[in-house]
Chain A
Amino acid sequence: MNIVVLVKQVPDSGSERKLDSSDNTVARAGADNVVNEIDEYAIEEALAVKEAQGGEVTVLSVGPDSATDAIRKALSMGADKAVHVSDPAIHGSDAIATSVVLAAALGQLEYDLIICGAEATDSQMSVMPALLAERLGLPQVSGARKLTIDGSTVKVERQTDGGYWALEAPLPAIVSTWDTINEPRYPSFKGIMAAKKKPVETKTLADLGVDPSTVGLGAAASEVLDFAGRPPKGEGVKVPDEGDGAQKFVDYLAGQKIV
């Protein structure tokens, strides 16, 4: 079972994140960049499938040179090798253009299963499995909280409000995972040392046969016109409970015509 895990490096959602005012793209240089949190669950799931079925886990990431940190993290958890697509022309790509690059890179890999996180904390779009399934003609098996491989079939519980949908699809397929699916392992010291020796192949758009004019900021099918920070909230009212806290709370709601 050969598995490709898609990993995205994102600005840490726990730190202040910005758009770059020069071109309205996500400010990645100078940001506190980390592996997208939900991707760690995807990596863990890929490793679990490999441990049960045998095979190899390949990390695939599209991003600037700094994305090597995210790739090393995935390798230190136990992935076998990595492909890093890095090309200045990719900068500013929207989700559609990014899916063109990922689809081209996947076209050069052998896989039975593609796994990615269900959402990136920077864009919060949750659309990459759908875009790639559409481009590659693969079954879209997204939003998993549980994954089982049964012969040549993948079975997934797709998380929904208040329950799940049971999905089945033939392999190869693309699966995305939520953070309910497992508990990601921490890289061991041995894993971190071993990761340094694992192969990371860097590819450019030319290597993938992607015309640079079809991706990047200029080719994006959507654009950010302008942006502004959320205006700060006015100072709220804060009352200590001196036996009348609940009454004051209800009075406030009544004043807002809520009760």
Chain B
Amino acid sequence: MAEVLVLAELNPAGGGVRKTTLEALTAARAVGEPSAVVIAAPGTAAGVREQLAEYGAATVYVAESPEIDEFLVAPKAEVLAQLVGEKSPAAVVIPSSPEGKEIAARLAVKIGSGFLTDVTEITADGTATQLAFAGQVIVHSRVKTGTPVYTLRGNSVAPEPAPAAGTEQQVPVSLSDAAKQTRVVDRVVEQKSSRPELTEASIVVSGGRGVASAENFSIIEALADSLGAAVGASRAAVDSGFYPHSFQVGQTGKTVSPQLYVAVGISGAIQHRAGMQTSKTIVAINKDAEAPIFELADFGVIGDLNVVVPQATELITARK
């Protein structure tokens, strides 16, 4: 079976592989036998090889160098292009993070191939599904030129174990000067959160303008915590200063596609719908019965969020 290279996306500092990597390994099996590629600081691969093998990596290519993390994006694209040249894989699959899409773009130019971003499915003949215009249009597309490069959108494919050998193979790293131009001098975490990452979470609870203040977002957070969910916010809430921009769901923020999306005090402007309408189940809580969010909702409560949300949190907590 043809080899498919899957770039592993890792959590910072020994945090293992991200769920998106397991999803990519799962999706890659449609087109061939996945091999994982770990391009990271020295000593990283040892901690993740087993997990990559469990999810189907026949081979784990290990390209480790202190220079990888010192520079932005370009080193990973360069190592991956070198590997594509050596292994002539049937395809390359990369998790669809901002960095993943940029690696895919640079890789595509380097190897003279086409690339497709944010695909939600890859089929055996290489055809991919994409969601255009914020999920309003479902598109089937394919790469016509070269080795297809795909970035797989998070939460599109359920990760399934498929134990494989995970044989480690070292890849020497020798970077060009062109790859060493943009230096990453610091990585700053401003919001430490025990909650799941927004784009990876299987449940998201978001608050909108109706939450009415930054302090009152605590009721959104409490509901989220009772469900083990990530917290999101509409643009109106972010623009009003209720919640930080990095949690914004919508056209100019994050696109999420969880199993359950709970929209609290969110009217459902197009800007917001663009970021969440592909969620599997949508529940809305809003005092305005005419709010457009109810058009999308599988279940809706017309009522005061300040009453309904704390009650719901209590009921959910009591069930545990």
The CA-CA distance from A37 to B316 in the complex, in Å, is 40
* Contact residues of B between 105 and 145, Cβ < 8 Å to A: 105-106, 108-110, 113-118, 127, 131-145
Residue A209 at the chain B interface, CB threshold 8 Å: no
Instruction: Select which of A13, A133, A167, A225 is within 8 A of B127 by beta carbon.
Output: A225
Q: Are B181 and A139 in contact (CB under 8 A)?
A: yes
The CA-CA distance from A62 to B167 in the complex, in Å, is 47
Given A141-B72, A173-B182, A246 and B311 contact (CB-CB distance below 8 Å): yes
Q: Are B188 and A169 in contact (CB under 8 A)?
A: no
Residue A247 at the chain B interface, CB threshold 8 Å: yes
Residue B13 at the chain A interface, CB threshold 8 Å: no
Residue A199 at the chain B interface, CB threshold 8 Å: no
Q: Are B283 and A252 in contact (CB under 8 A)?
A: yes
How many residues on chain B are close to A (CB under 8 Å)?
92
Contact-size category for A: 35 or more
Q: Are B182 and A126 in contact (CB under 8 A)?
A: no
The CA-CA distance from A240 to B270 in the complex, in Å, is 24
Residues of B within 8 A of A94 (CB): 114
The CA-CA distance from A249 to B286 in the complex, in Å, is 12
What does the 1/0 interface line of A122-142 toward B look like (CB < 8 Å)? 101111011101110111111
Majority SS of interface residues in chain B?
mixed
Given A37-B252, A127-B117, A238-B294, A162 and B192 contact (CB-CB distance below 8 Å): yes
Q: Are B137 and A161 in contact (CB under 8 A)?
A: no
Residue A201 at the chain B interface, CB threshold 8 Å: no
| Stretch of B1-9, B85-93, B297-305 with 4 or more beta carbons under 8 angstroms from chain A | B297-305
Q: Are A14 and B271 in contact (CB under 8 A)?
A: yes
Residues of B within 8 A of A166 (CB): 184-188
Residue B203 at the chain A interface, CB threshold 8 Å: yes
The CA-CA distance from A129 to B74 in the complex, in Å, is 12
The CA-CA distance from A135 to B197 in the complex, in Å, is 33
Q: Are B245 and A180 in contact (CB under 8 A)?
A: yes
What does the 1/0 interface line of B219-232 toward A look like (CB < 8 Å)? 00000000100000
Instruction: Select which of A122, A164, A223 is within 8 A of B142 by beta carbon.
Output: A223
Residues of A within 8 A of B285 (CB): 245, 249
Residues of B within 8 A of A30 (CB): none
Given A19-B132, A179-B252, A221 and B296 contact (CB-CB distance below 8 Å): no
Which chain A residue has the least Cβ–Cβ distance from B314?
Answer: A246
| Stretch of B42-50, B60-68, B96-104 with 4 or more beta carbons under 8 angstroms from chain A | B96-104
Residues of A within 8 A of B106 (CB): 130-131, 133-134, 140
Residue B214 at the chain A interface, CB threshold 8 Å: no
The CA-CA distance from A225 to B139 in the complex, in Å, is 8
Q: Are B146 and A233 in contact (CB under 8 A)?
A: no
Instruction: Select which of B181, B271, B311 is within 8 A of A13 by beta carbon.
Output: B271
Residue A237 at the chain B interface, CB threshold 8 Å: yes
Instruction: Select which of A167, A226, A237 is within 8 A of B182 by beta carbon.
Output: A167
* Contact residues of A between 223 and 259, Cβ < 8 Å to B: 223-230, 233, 236-241, 245-250, 252-254, 256, 258-259
Q: Are A38 and B252 in contact (CB under 8 A)?
A: yes
The CA-CA distance from A118 to B145 in the complex, in Å, is 26
* Contact residues of A between 159 and 187, Cβ < 8 Å to B: 159-170, 173, 178-180
Residue B215 at the chain A interface, CB threshold 8 Å: no
The CA-CA distance from A224 to B114 in the complex, in Å, is 12
- Identify which of B185, B203, B277, B301 gathers the most chain A CB atoms within 10 Å of its CB: B301
**8 A-B pairs closest in CB distance:** A241-B303, A221-B114, A246-B311, A139-B181, A127-B105, A222-B114, A221-B145, A130-B102
Instruction: Name 24 A/B residue pairs within 8 A (Cβ), A-sorted.
Output: A13-B251, A37-B251, A95-B105, A96-B115, A124-B118, A125-B105, A129-B102, A131-B108, A140-B72, A140-B181, A160-B246, A165-B184, A165-B186, A173-B181, A223-B142, A227-B132, A228-B138, A238-B294, A238-B302, A239-B300, A239-B302, A246-B301, A249-B301, A259-B319
Interface set of B (CB-CB < 8 Å, partner A): 72-74, 77, 98, 101-106, 108-110, 113-118, 127, 131-146, 178, 181-193, 197-199, 203, 227, 245-246, 251-252, 255, 259-260, 270-271, 274, 277, 281-283, 285, 289, 294-304, 307-309, 311-312, 314-316, 319
A sample of 6 more A-B contacts (CB under 8 A), given A163-B189, A221-B146, is: A38-B252, A125-B118, A131-B108, A134-B109, A169-B182, A233-B298
